C-alpha cells in the first residue's frame, strides 16, 4: 500500500514543504529511506522502527520504502521522525489515508514512542498554513509557540500512540488556542531605572537619542562610572514590539531552539549581552545546523558589548556587515543563509587597560599602550558607532544637585513620540528608523537649509569624517530634531550630533583643537 503525508524542513529561518511517501510492497523484507537525507534523517530509520514497535505497530515482513521529496532539498533535523512514522502506519493500513493528507506533521521520536520538541516549530506552522493545510500536528512542547500563527489548528501530541489514536478517531485532542497569550502578562521589568543613575546627563541624552532613532552607542569611561548600568537602563525605554516584530523574533528564537513553555513567544525586545570570550560562530551564527547567533538573537533589540576591546578581532569584524546592512550572510555546505540582524549596538569600554586615561594622575599606561588598547577597535567599526560618549567620573552614588533625576517612564514617552514621528514619516517607505536613512531617502528626509548645509560640511571637515561618518552624523541630527519635535533639522541638532561623533576623535586620531562652535 502507498501513503503520503506532508511535513516541512528548515532552510535558515524559513521552512519548506516536504512530502513524505511510504510504500509497502511484496518482495524481500527490507526498509529503505531515500531523498537527499542528512545523517540525522538517515538515523531516523532505526528510531522510527523501534518507536513504532514500542507503540504497538508491527512492521510487516515486506519491502518498505520511504521517500522524502523534493529531491533537490537537503533534509536535515529530527523533525521528520513523526511524519515518517505516520506515513508508514498509514501505508500499513492502520490509519485512514484520507485523514493524513489534510494535515502537516513534525516531531522527533524517542525509542519508547514519546515525541520530543523540535527547533523551528513556528516557521513549520507558518508554511503549513501557507500551503493550505487546516491543521498541523506538533510535539506538545511546541504547541504554545505554534499557536501564535493564526488560521491553522495546532494539535499537540506527547506520544506516537496518542498521535495514532487521534488519527484513527479514537481520541479527541482540542486544538491549541493562542496559548502564547498567557505569557503576555509577564512583563519583564527593566533592571535599572534611569532615575537610579546620578548625573551622566550627556550619556543619558545619548542613550535616549540612540534608542529613539535606533542608532549605535559607544560609552567610554573609567571602571565604575556606570556604563553597564546605563546600558541595562536602555532596555527599559525601548518601545513595545509590534505583532510583526514579535512574529519575526519568535521565528528566530524558534529556529535557535530557545523557546519553551514558559517563554513560547518573544514579547519583549531582546537585550543580548554576550561575554567577550564568545566564539565567532556563536556570535555570528553557524555550526552544523546554522543556528542564529547573538547578532541575530538581538534583532529589533539591543546587542550590548561590554569591554568592547576585549572581544576578539574576528568577532568584532563580524559586526561590520550587520551594522551596515541589518543582516548577516552565513554559508554552510554550499547553501547560503541570510539572517536578519537589525539591532542597536551598545558598546562599553575603558579608555585604556588600567581604565583611567586621559586622567594622567591615575593612568599608569604609556601613550603607546593607550594607543594599542584603543586600536583594537578598527576604524570601520568606530565609524559605525553613531553616538560616542564619555562617562563622567564617579560621583559615588551621591547626587550632585538637589535636582530630581528623570525616570525611565518620562524618557520612554519622548522616545515613543520620536519613534511615532518616524513611523508616520516613513509610512510609505521601506524603512522604519532614522538609522536606516540612505541615498534618495536621506536626501528627501534630511533636506538641509543653506546655513545648516554649510555647518554640516564644516563639521564633517573638522572631524575628518568619512562619507559614511558624515551620513551617520546627519541621521543622528535627524533623530535629535525628532526628539525636539522639529521636522526641519536645525544647526543645534547638527552641532549636538557632532559632539557625539567628536568624542571618538578625542581618543582616536585626535584632531588639534577639536570641533568648536562657530
| C-beta closer to Zn ion: residue 183 or 371 | 371
Q: Whole-number minimum distance, CB 370 to Zn ion, in Å?
A: 6
> Nearer Cβ to Zn ion, position 307 or 458?
307
Q: Which of 68, 126, 167, 363 binds Zn ion (CB under 5 A)?
A: 363
State the nearest-atom distance from the C-beta of 362 to Zn ion, in Å.
8
Indicate the residue among 283 and 357 with the shorter CB distance to Zn ion: 357
SS3 at position 183:
helix
Smallest distance from the beta carbon of 227 to Zn ion, in angstroms? 16
Given a contact cutoff of 8 angstroms between Cβ atoms, the answer to whether 347 and 217 are in contact is yes
CB of 313 to Zn ion, least distance (A): 21
Using the minimum distance from each CB to Zn ion, give the nearer residue, 66 or 363: 363
The residue count for binding Zn ion (CB under 5 A) is 5
Least CB distance from residue 471 to Zn ion, whole Å?
Answer: 33
Binding mask 236-265 for Zn ion (x = CB under 5 A): ------------------------------
Task: Specify whether the backbone of 333 is left (phi greater than 0), alpha (psi in -120 to 50) or beta.
Answer: left
Q: Name the minimum Å distance from CB 106 to Zn ion.
A: 55
Give me the least distance between CB of 221 and Zn ion, in Å please.
12
Torsions phi, psi of 433, nearest 5?
A: -120, 160
* Beta-carbon contacts of residue 368 (< 8 Å; ≥ 6 apart): none
Of 345 and 363, which has the nearer Cβ to Zn ion? 363
Which residues inside 342-361 make contact with Zn ion, applying CB under 5 A? Answer: 352, 354, 357
CB atoms under 10 Å from CB of 46, counted, come to 11
Span from 60-68, 311-319, 363-371, 484-492 in contact with Zn ion (CB under 5 A): 363-371
Helical spans, DSSP H, in 26-141 = 39-42, 44-53, 81-91, 97-100, 121-130
Q: Is 36 in the site for Zn ion (CB under 5 A)?
A: no
Task: Kindly state the smallest distance separating residue 327's Cβ from Zn ion, in Å.
Answer: 38
Other beta carbons less than 10 A from residue 334's beta carbon: 6
516549530: which residue's cell?
Answer: 121
Cβ-based nearer residue to Zn ion, 66 or 370? 370
For residue 372, the minimal CB distance to Zn ion (Å) is: 11
Closer residue to Zn ion (CB): 43 or 307:
307
Nine cell digits for residue 347:
558598546
- CB-CB contact of 389 with 217 (8 Å): yes
3-state SS, 316-383, equals HHCCHHHHHHCEEEEEECCEEEEEECCCEEEEEECCCCCCCCCCCCCCCCCHHHHHHHHCCCCHHHHH
Q: What are phi and psi of 210, to 5 degrees?
A: -60, -45
**What number of helices (H) and strands (E) belong to the chain?**
21, 18
Nearest CB to Zn ion, comparing residues 8 and 365 = 365
* Distance in Å, CB of 273 to Zn ion, minimum: 25
In this complex, which beta carbon is closest to Zn ion, that of residue 253 or of residue 356? 356
Based on CB atoms, which residue is closest to Zn ion, 289 or 376?
A: 376
Peptide bond into 358 cis (omega under 30): yes
Please give the residues from 379 up to 408 whose contact with Zn ion meets the rule CB under 5 A: none
84 in Cβ contact with 18 (< 8 Å): no
Residue 220 found at the interface with Zn ion (CB under 5 A): no
Give the chain's radius of gyration (CA, Å): 28
- Binding positions for Zn ion, 135-164, rule CB under 5 A: none
Closest by CA position to 206, among listed 191, 221, 222: 221
361 CB neighbour count, 10 Å cutoff: 5
Give the residue with the Cβ less far from Zn ion, 108 or 390: 390
| Residue 365 interacts with Zn ion (CB under 5 A): yes or no | yes
Cβ-based nearer residue to Zn ion, 186 or 362 = 362
Least spacing, CB of residue 147 vs Zn ion, in Å: 54
Taking the complex as a whole, how short is the minimal distance between the CB of residue 353 and Zn ion, in angstroms?
A: 6
The SS3 of residue 236 is helix
CB under 8 Å to 374, separation ≥6 — which residues? 309, 351, 352, 507, 508
Q: What is the DSSP letter of 151?
A: T
Which residues have CB under 8 Å from 154's CB, separation 6+? 125, 135, 136, 138, 143, 146, 147, 175, 176
Interacting residues with Zn ion (CB under 5 A): 352, 354, 357, 363, 365
Amino acid at each position: 500500500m502507498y501513503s503520503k503525508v506532508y511535513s516541512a524542513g528548515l532552510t535558515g529561518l524559513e521552512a519548506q514543504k516536504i512530502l513524505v511517501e511510504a510504500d509497502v510492497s511484496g518482495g524481500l523484507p527490507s526498509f529503505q529511506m531515500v531523498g537527499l537525507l542528512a545523517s540525522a534523517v538517515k538515523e531516523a530509520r532505526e528510531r522510527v522502527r523501534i518507536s513504532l514497535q514500542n507503540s504497538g505497530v508491527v512492521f510487516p515482513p515486506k519491502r518498505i520504502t520511504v521517500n522524502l521529496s523534493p529531491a533537490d532539498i537537503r533534509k536535515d533535523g529530527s523533525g521528520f521522525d513523526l511524519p515518517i512514522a505516520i506515513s508508514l502506519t498509514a501505508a500499513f493500513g492502520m490509519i485512514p489515508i484520507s485523514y493524513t493528507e489534510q494535515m502537516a506533521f513534525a516531531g522527533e521520536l524517542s525509542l519508547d514512542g514519546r515525541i520530543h520538541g523540535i527547533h523551528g516549530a513556528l516557521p513549520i506552522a507558518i508554511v503549513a498554513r501557507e500551503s493550505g493545510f487546516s491543521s498541523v500536528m506538533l510535539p506538545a512542547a511546541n504547541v504554545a509557540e505554534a499557536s501564535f500563527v493564526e488560521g491553522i489548528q495546532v494539535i499537540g501530541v506527547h506520544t506516537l500512540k496518542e498521535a495514532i489514536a487521534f488519527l484513527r478517531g479514537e481520541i479527541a485532542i482540542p486544538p491549541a488556542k493562542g496559548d502564547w497569550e498567557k505569557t503576555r502578562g509577564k512583563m519583564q521589568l527593566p533592571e535599572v531605572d534611569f532615575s537610579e543613575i546620578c548625573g551622566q546627563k550627556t550619556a543619558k541624552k545619548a542613550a535616549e537619542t540612540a534608542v529613539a532613532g535606533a542608532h549605535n552607542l559607544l560609552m567610554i569611561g573609567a571602571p565604575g562610572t556606570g556604563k553597564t548600568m546605563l546600558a541595562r537602563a536602555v532596555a527599559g525605554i525601548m518601545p513595545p514590539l509590534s505583532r510583526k516584530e514579535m512574529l519575526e523574533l519568535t521565528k528566530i528564537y524558534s529556529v535557535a531552539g530557545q523557546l519553551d513553555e514558559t517563554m513560547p513567544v518573544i514579547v519583549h525586545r531582546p537585550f543580548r549581552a554576550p561575554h567577550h570570550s564568545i566564539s565567532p560562530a556563536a556570535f555570528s551564527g553557524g555550526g552544523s545546523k546554522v543556528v542564529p547567533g547573538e547578532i541575530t538573537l538581538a534583532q529589533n533589540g539591543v546587542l550590548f558589548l561590554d569591554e568592547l576591546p576585549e572581544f576578539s578581532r574576528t568577532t568584532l569584524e563580524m559586526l561590520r556587515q550587520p551594522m551596515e546592512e541589518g543582516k548577516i550572510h552565513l554559508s554552510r555546505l554550499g547553501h547560503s543563509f541570510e539572517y536578519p540582524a537589525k539591532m542597536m549596538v551598545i558598546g562599553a569600554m575603558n579608555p585604556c587597560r588600567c581604565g583611567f586615561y586621559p586622567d594622567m594622575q591615575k593612568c599608569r599606561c604609556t601613550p603607546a599602550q593607550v594607543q594599542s588598547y584603543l586600536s583594537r577597535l578598527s576604524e570601520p567599526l568606530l565609524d559605525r558607532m553613531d553616538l560616542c560618549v564619555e562617562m563622567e567620573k564617579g560621583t559615588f552614588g551621591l547626587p550632585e544637585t538637589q535636582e530630581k533625576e528623570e525616570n525611565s517612564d518620562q524618557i520612554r514617552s519622548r522616545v515613543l513620540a520620536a519613534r511615532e514621528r518616524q513611523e508616520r514619516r516613513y509610512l510609505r517607505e521601506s524603512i522604519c528608523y532614522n538609522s536606516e536613512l540612505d541615498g534618495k531617502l536621506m536626501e528627501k528626509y534630511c533636506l538641509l537649509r543653506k546655513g545648516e548645509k554649510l555647518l554640516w560640511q564644516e563639521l564633517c571637515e573638522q572631524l575628518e569624517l568619512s562619507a559614511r561618518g558624515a551620513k551617520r552624523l546627519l541621521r543622528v541630527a535627524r533623530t535629535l530634531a525628532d526628539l525636539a519635535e522639529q521636522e526641519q533639522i536645525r544647526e543645534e541638532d547638527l552641532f549636538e550630533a557632532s559632539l557625539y561623533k567628536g568624542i571618538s576623535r578625542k581618543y582616536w586620531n585626535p584632531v588639534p583643537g577639536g570641533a568648536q562652535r562657530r
